[in-house]
Amino acid sequence: MNILVLNAGSSSLKYQLIEMPSQKVKCVGLIEKIGFDDAIFTHQKNSEKYTKILPITDHKLGLQKITATLLDTSIGVISTVDDITAVGHRVVHGGNKFSKTTLVTQEVKDNIRELFDLAPLHNPVNLTGIEIAETIFTSAKQIAVFDTAFHQTMPQKAYQYAIKNVFLHKHHIRAYGFHGTSHKYVSEKAIDLVNKKSSKIITIHLGNGCSMAAIKDGKTIDTSMGFGPMNGLIMGTRSGDIDPSVIFFLMKKLDKTAQEVNTLLQKESGMLGLSGFSDLREISKKASDGNEDCKNALQLAAYRIQKYIGAFAAALNGLDAIVFTAGIGENSDLMRKLVCQNLDFLGIDLDEEKNCLRSKEIREIQKDLGKVKIVVIPTNEEVEIAKQSYDLLK
């Protein structure tokens, strides 16, 4: 069974074609800068890599280009669009309506549309990807996999805010959590490593967007992101946790509109606001060269993660493993070092030599006698989406 996994972003379209149940990745690709004359289209099959600069004005044209590439006799992997059994779509926000992977129907699409206000940067383009795929892969099942679904096991004491109950019951204002597909994928790998009947794991997803989850026996009991994907950790351009009074101050005293404050906190804050740069690689280099703002940004980001480790260890009543994943978590030995320092009272004891080793494989980086496993697990959200899609169809 061939499952095409699509991850539509505001100006990007990622895809993988995965054969199930073997989980063999037949090809991967990415279109960046959709809507620009110089969109970058990259397609890889085995070791062959194909890159072109194309004027791709919208996602419809982008998916048409991807389809033509999949069918190309020299670099493609299918002979007809009917070779695709299902298309698995990443959808960021499922609200309280979706707690599991779901076959797409008109009702499902209407519900995704109703959630636009909860994820205005993501859900509209996620729905666009579904609607375009329906017109191209007409015989395939369209399947929605929600970022929020994995976190729906949180107890009410973890997801409810201390505001009037009507806001929860009528307006569904609560913590939902995000990056659920990634947290699910890596936590299952970590559970195998812990090899206990009962497991207590903290997963740390660090990329341009960052989040953490406290996972007990394979189920989320708490997570750092909340109603929207801006809460919690310091991210590339998002502020993470901030006193709500700051928002009112910005609006009243500095005469900022609600939209201006939203833009400030979503796109001009985080590591970018602290250092002038959003890419951790550049921040790390500048910090090593003596840039004080970059040094400070790294310290603030690591400290925020440490606070959540302490809180989640308390919520779990113990700790078997912490997991680093995603672009920064997998590749930045500096950030892992900063996060793990001064946490020996929790049994977190990093082996610096193991931490600096470069590898794309799952690896443990704690000292030999460390009580808590420190694990680096490369995430693969596309494979997880394919797995969930396959299980639904099976």
Q: Are residues 126 and 218 in the same domain?
A: no
For 194, 239, 314, 357, the CA distances from 308, given in Å and listed in that order, are 21, 15, 10, 26
201, part of any domain: yes
Mean pLDDT computed over 379-385: 91
Q: Name the catalytic one among 38, 117, 147, 289.
A: 147
**Pairing of the two strands 141-146 and 24-32:** unpaired
Calculate mean pLDDT across residues 4-26: 90
Residue 25 in this model has a pLDDT that exceeds 90: yes
Rg (CA), the chain: 21
Pair (7, 132) in one structural domain: yes
Instruction: Give me the phi and psi of 118, to 5 degrees please.
Output: -80, -25
Per-residue confidence at 47, pLDDT binned at 50, 70, 90? confident
Residue 344 resides in a domain: yes
d(CA 248, CA 242): 12
Distances (CA, A) of 383 to 6, 28, 32, 227, 278: 11, 11, 21, 26, 27
Contact 149, 384 (CB under 8 A): no
Q: What does the pLDDT average to over 30-52?
A: 88
The reply to whether 308 falls in a domain is: yes
Task: Quote the pLDDT of residue 35.
Answer: 82
Q: What is the reported pLDDT for 197?
A: 87
DSSP 350: B
Instruction: State the CATH number of the domain containing residue 206.
Output: 3.30.420.40
State residue 8's pLDDT score: 85
Residue 10 has pLDDT above 80, yes or no: no
Residue 118 pLDDT:
79
Tell me if 161 is assigned to some domain. Answer: no
Asked if 18 and 131 sit in the same domain, the reply is yes
**47 and 109 both lie in a single domain:** yes
Q: Quick one: pLDDT at residue 48?
A: 86
- The mean per-residue pLDDT over the stretch 204-214 comes to 94
Task: For residue 218, give both structure tokens.
Answer: 């394979």
pLDDT tens for each residue of 344-360: 999 999 999 999 998 88
Task: Tell me: do 260 and 370 sit in the same domain.
Answer: yes
Q: Which of 146, 179, 213 is the last residue of a domain?
A: 146
DSSP 352-393: HHHHH---SS-EE-B-TT-SSEEEE----HHHHHHHHHHHHH
The lowest-confidence range among 11-15, 189-193, 271-275, 330-334 is 11-15
pTM for the predicted model, two decimal places:
0.89
Same structural domain, 212 and 359: yes
Q: Are residues 243 and 103 in the same domain?
A: no
Omega before residue 21 within 30° of 0, cis:
yes
Would residue 165 count as lying in a domain?
A: no
Domain shared by 115 and 255, yes or no: no
**Residue 55, pLDDT score:** 86
**Residue 371 domain flag:** yes
Q: Which tens digits make up the pLDDT trace of 75-90? A: 888 989 999 999 999 9
Tell me: do 347 and 206 sit in the same domain. yes
What would you measure as the largest C-alpha separation in the chain, in angstroms? 62
Number of domains in the chain: 2
What are the tens digits of pLDDT across the range 230-279? Answer: 899 999 999 999 999 999 999 999 999 999 999 999 889 999 999 999 88
Which of 82, 115, 146 is the last residue in one of the domains? 146
Whether residue 181 is contained in a domain is answered as: no
Reply yes or no on whether the pLDDT at 121 is more than 80.
no
Final residue of a structural domain among 108, 128, 146: 146
Nearest CA to 30 out of 3, 2, 49 is that of: 49
Question: In angstroms, rounded to a whole number, what is the distance separating the alpha carbons of residues 280 and 206?
Answer: 10
Tell me the DSSP string of 280-316.
Answer: HHHHHHHHHTT-HHHHHHHHHHHHHHHHHHHHHHHHH
> 345 and 212, same structural domain?
yes
Structural domain of 8: 2-146
Does the pLDDT at position 135 exceed 80? yes
pLDDT (0 to 100) of residue 307: 97
Annotation says 147 is catalytic: yes
Report yes or no on 387 lying in a domain.
no
Q: Are residues 43 and 117 located together in one domain of the fold? A: yes
Task: List b or e across 214-234, with b for residues whose CB sees 16 or more CB atoms inside 10 angstroms.
Answer: bbbeeebbbbbbbbbbbbbbb
135 and 203 share one domain:
no
Distance linking the first and last C-alpha atoms of the chain: 10
| 1 contact partners, CB below 8 Å, separation of at least 6 | 19, 20, 21, 85, 86, 390, 393
Top mean pLDDT of 32-36, 113-117, 223-227 is at 223-227
